[in-house]
Every structure is written in structure tokens, then in C-alpha cells.
Amino acid sequence: MKIIYTKHALKDKLPALKRLGWNISKNKIEETIANPEWRGVSKHGQETAMSLVDEKHILRVVMRSEGDIITVITLHIARRGKYESTL
């Protein structure tokens, strides 16, 4: 499995999360994709993978799979219960 990142995910979202105090690494993103605690579908029909960041927050990764290539489209931190309860 090869993971690539859109410019939006890598250059916009990761630095924005860091400015907000969330130190999310590429390793954490890749662990979330490989072993998510929850899976889902975005409102636009894209796959999502989610994992805990702390007891009140999750990391949600929106991605597209084509064969063995996964493209990370965007990611964000959400409060627990917003997404995993809809699965």
C-alpha cells in the first residue's frame, strides 16, 4: 500500500492543526489508515478512517483508494460522537 498526500492535506491541514496545538504526524495518519478504530463515508462519498487522539477527540482522515494507492485528501480533528456514532 502506497500513501500519497494532496497539497491541501500536507501543506494546509497539517500546519493548521499544529498551530491549533494538535501535533499530528504522518505516522499517526498512516496508522489511522492502516488500523482505523472506525470507518465511514464522507458526505461526498469518499472513504474515511478515524482513530482516537485523546478521550474527547478523533482524527478523521478523508481518502481515496485506487488499487494499492491511497490518496489522503484532507484530515481534521473532531469531537468524539460526531462521526463514529453515525457508522
The pLDDT, as a whole number, for residue 85 is 56
CB-based burial, 6-34: b 16+ in 10 Å, e otherwise: beebeeebbeebeeeebebeeebbeebbe
CB 32 within 8 A of CB 49: yes
What is residue 24's predicted lDDT score, i.e. its pLDDT? 96
Provide the residue ranges of all domains of the chain, joining segments of one domain with +.
Answer: 2-86
Q: What is the pTM of this model?
A: 0.90
Residue 43 CA to residue 28 CA, distance in Å, equals: 24
Give me the tens of pLDDT residue by residue for the chain, a chain 87 residues long: 899 999 999 999 999 999 999 999 999 999 999 999 999 999 999 999 999 999 999 999 999 999 999 999 999 999 998 887 544
**Taking the domain 2-86, which CATH number applies?**
3.30.2310.20
